[in-house]
Structure 1
Amino acid sequence: MSITKQSSDALARRLAALPREIVAKVQPAILKSVKDVAADAAVLAEATRRTGSLAESVEATGPGQTTPAYASDGGRRTATELQGFVTAGDPGARHGHLVEFGTEARRREDGSSTGTMPATPFLLPAWRLNRARVQRRINTAIRRAIREAAQ
């Protein structure tokens, strides 16, 4: 499964069908997972350190919380009760997307070039490092919550 808004929304719809008490017991697993991915993303962003502002701007946003104003997805976004976000960006570090995906040379109006910057991904690799653990943690929390609710 790719890390897309569609897959996130599909999972959120499936989990939204669960009773409230199960959702409440799954949320800590989601928050822990988001924090783990954010911690790894911050470590990977250190490779791009010039000022340190990018690595320091990596934030974990748990279920029901709102992303920071300068988050990498363009601003404030509130997670549903079964979502979590990892974002990078603050007023001093609005270049996370440029680091993650790199840049191509472009000609300016005066004829000079903007130059290129190779991609140095840090968010997607952090997700890939944690994906299996996140899936196990959330599946375990769901199974445990269902088992407890059935008793």
Structure 2
Amino acid sequence: MVQGLKSLERKLTRTIPHRVRQATRDAMEKGAGEIVAMARSLVPVLKEPDRRRVAGALRDSIGWTWGDAPKGSITIASSRPIGNGERITIFAGTRDKSLGVADAFYARWVEFGTQDMAAHPFFFPSYRFLKRRVKGRITRAIKKAIREGAK
């Protein structure tokens, strides 16, 4: 009879998958945080607030969440579901009437421009700039979790 078969089976079915899911989740959260921070630093902010908009409302509306983005926001990236169907979504702008003038529904107009206003991209440049780094971090985290789980 082979010794350690139960231990090997437990590692392959429970320990390693759990560690991989947790490492992937942590790496995705860190990457999403970096992309959000860069997008917030690139977004134009109103110099003087007016009665229709609040200075910094668009900047403050940029964020990430597990699952779907808030209603009315534009989505920069949404990962494929991991493990039990969780996915991370990075978004900007909201369509929340409860915010009043802090409602940043105009995110797509700032990002892509209109016929009367030039585009001020902040969202997709940050995503394109950091995408490779984030993917690499996730891959390294998965490999490390597999190595540690196999010990």
Please say if residues 79 and 89 of structure 2, whose CA atoms lie closer than 8 Å, have aligned partners that are also in contact. no
- Pairwise CA distance, 1:66: 3.9
Q: Where does 1:124-139 land on structure 2 (aligned, <5 Å)?
A: 124-139=124-139
Aligned equivalent of 2:38: 40
Residue type of the alignment partner of 1:150:
A
Q: Where does 1:1-151 land on structure 2 (aligned, <5 Å)?
A: 19-45=17-43, 47-49=44-46, 51-62=55-66, 65-73=67-75, 80-81=81-82, 83-90=87-94, 91=96, 92-104=103-115, 116-151=116-151
Alignment size in residue pairs:
117
- Pairwise CA distance, 1:60: 1.4
- Pairwise CA distance, 1:148: 1.7
Equivalent-residue separation in structure 2 for 1:136 and 1:29 (angstroms): 10
- Pairwise CA distance, 1:69: 3.1
**Identity across aligned pairs (percent)?**
31
Q: Which runs of 5+ in 1 are unaligned?
A: 1-17, 105-115
Please say if residues 49 and 55 of structure 1, whose CA atoms lie closer than 8 Å, have aligned partners that are also in contact. no
- Pairwise CA distance, 1:41: 0.6
Q: TM-score, normalised by structure 2?
A: 0.67
Equivalent-residue separation in structure 1 for 2:118 and 2:145 (angstroms): 45
- Runs of 4+ in structure 1 over 6 Å off: none
Q: TM-score, normalised by structure 1?
A: 0.67
Residue type of the alignment partner of 1:85:
T
Using CA pairs under 8 Å that are at least 6 residues apart, name the structure with larger relative contact order, 1 or 2.
2
Please say if residues 58 and 89 of structure 1, whose CA atoms lie closer than 8 Å, have aligned partners that are also in contact. yes
Q: Higher strand share goes to which structure?
A: 2
Q: Which runs of 5+ in 2 are unaligned?
A: 1-15, 48-54, 97-102
- Pairwise CA distance, 1:84: 1.9
